[in-house]
Amino acid sequence: MALTKASLESVDVGSAPIDRYRELMGPEGWGPFELSMREFADQMRGRTLWNVNSTSRGGGVAELLAALIPYDRGAGIDERWLVIQGSPEFFAITKKIHMLLHGVAPDGSEITAAELRQYEQVMARNATGLLEQIKPDDVVLLHDPQTAGLVAPLSSRGVAVIWRSHVGVDQPNEMVRNAWKFLTPYMNGASAFVFSRRAYVWDGPDGSRIHIIAPCIDPFTTKNRDLAPDEVARILVAGGALRGTDGEPTFLRQDGSKGRVMHRATTSGAPPADARLVVQVSRWDRLKDPIGVAEAFARHIAPKTDAWLVLAGPAVDSVDDDPEQPQVLSDLQAMRDRLRPEVRDRLVVAQLPMHDIEENAAIVNALQRRADVVVQKSLAEGFGLTVAEAMWKARPVVAGRVGGIEDQVEDQKSGILIDDPKDLEAFGSAVVGLLQDREKAGALGREARLRVIREFLAPRHLMQQARLVTSVT
């Protein structure tokens, strides 16, 4: 369906006090952070910092923005978040580009002339909508390939534009290079480029405009806030992800008010209250390889343990910018249906409710905390926020040695990395080992939490971004 008007969605995430971090950071960390935020607010006085991406919910970018923007706003920066409008055809094209940037060929690895026209038409309509709101002195952060075509129209009006890529691969193949060739002409006017790790930088931008900022998590969000074991159980039972007796399934919202789990996941079943759980939380994306996780469980984990596997993701129709999700979920469910009943019954596919984003976050939080082992068997991964989330919760993690996951997990110290994520036997053996050795699992989890505190919390990210924005103004 063709767009008739680019009316961009404005996402209101409120504000949050940076004082939350004072105790967690300690005097040595807090002083520089507070000073940095105060100076940034002075620098941006009278100007707006805009973030533009392709969806307000589902996926790491939306979660990152929802967590970070409130702190800048709480520190006195006028920061806002807009979501572009696109047709189903546009999002099919950008999903194709996303896959190509990971070196995976969807049907037809070349961007066709018709796809090029559709991409540019949608970008032009969104650029018109943006320029009605953005002032020349403002700064715009554009996120991921969906927004690349906005660089030129914004920069030509004197707006400082930073384009940020949250995706990448360590060893690009010809498909990756061709995808970057497609995107590069659209981004020549950017003042800076941001990547999650140095290996993701392609040949286009000159070095002076390249900045490396790893993503982070916020421990004070609904998804990461501490939960007592009884709270975990009540939330999961109410959300349909665990069997048990109903209780009062409440959680604390971002604004401090009390929320209640009102919606249930669409699941293929629910583990019993005392089950040992292996959990992966991700979008229904082939690069997250949920089918590979299920096969590894069926072949190498279920026969050796009594554990259950929970593959959890968003309700399949809730993420507008990823049209491939229904097919991935369908393939996963078909694979599950072929398993022997004694294995199939211990493999739970859960579509988590997305009616209320904070309700969804509370269920994910509870699911990760309830897990005996958290896995992320991605075939490619820009960073992998779910890994940092699990580490913060002191969960032992088994993950593929791909992309930004390798930056987070120190193998055998704060988790276990599988050199080849397609090696189902190695993956399964690592999970079984942790299920059988609780002492080792506990030690990995404790070190994982300490690593997140040192490297992957919001203040580090906010200070790096503040320095970058200041440098282009």
3-state SS class at 177: helix
- What digits encode the pLDDT tens for the residues 139-166? 999 999 999 999 999 999 999 999 999 9
- Decide which of 171 and 365 is more confident: 365
What pLDDT does 320 receive?
A: 64
Domain residue limits, the chain: 9-216+457-471, 229-455
Same fold across 9-216+457-471 and 229-455: yes
CATH class of the region 9-216+457-471:
alpha beta
Q: Return mean pLDDT, the chain.
A: 94
The pLDDT-based confidence of 298 (bands split at 50, 70, 90) is: very high
Residue 64 has pLDDT above 60, yes or no: yes
Query: Do 167 and 382 form a contact (C-beta atoms < 8 A)?
Result: yes
- What digits encode the pLDDT tens for the residues 400-419? 999 999 999 999 999 999 99
What pLDDT does 106 receive?
A: 66
User: How far apart (Å, rounded) are the C-alpha atoms in residues 15 and 27?
Assistant: 23
Q: How far is CA 58 from the centre of its chain?
A: 8
- What digits encode the pLDDT tens for the residues 427-462? 999 999 999 999 999 999 999 999 999 999 999 999
Residue 2 has pLDDT above 60, yes or no: no
**pTM value?**
0.88
The residue ranges of DSSP E strands in 250-376, in sequence order, are: 250-252, 258-260, 266-267, 277-281, 308-314, 347-352, 373-376
Share of the chain above pLDDT 70, in %: 97
- What digits encode the pLDDT tens for the residues 102-132? 888 766 678 889 999 999 999 999 999 999 9
Q: Which two tokens stand for residue 300?
A: 């190498």
3-state SS class at 400: strand
CATH class of the region 229-455:
alpha beta
Residue 40 has pLDDT above 80, yes or no: yes
Contacts 24+ apart (CB under 8 A), 440-443: 440/396, 441/372, 441/373, 441/396, 442/396
The pLDDT-based confidence of 3 (bands split at 50, 70, 90) is: very low
- What digits encode the pLDDT tens for the residues 315-369? 988 766 677 889 999 999 999 999 999 999 999 999 999 999 999 999 999 999 9
What pLDDT does 221 receive?
A: 94
What pLDDT does 324 receive?
A: 84
74-83, 217-226, 244-253 — which is least confidently predicted? 244-253
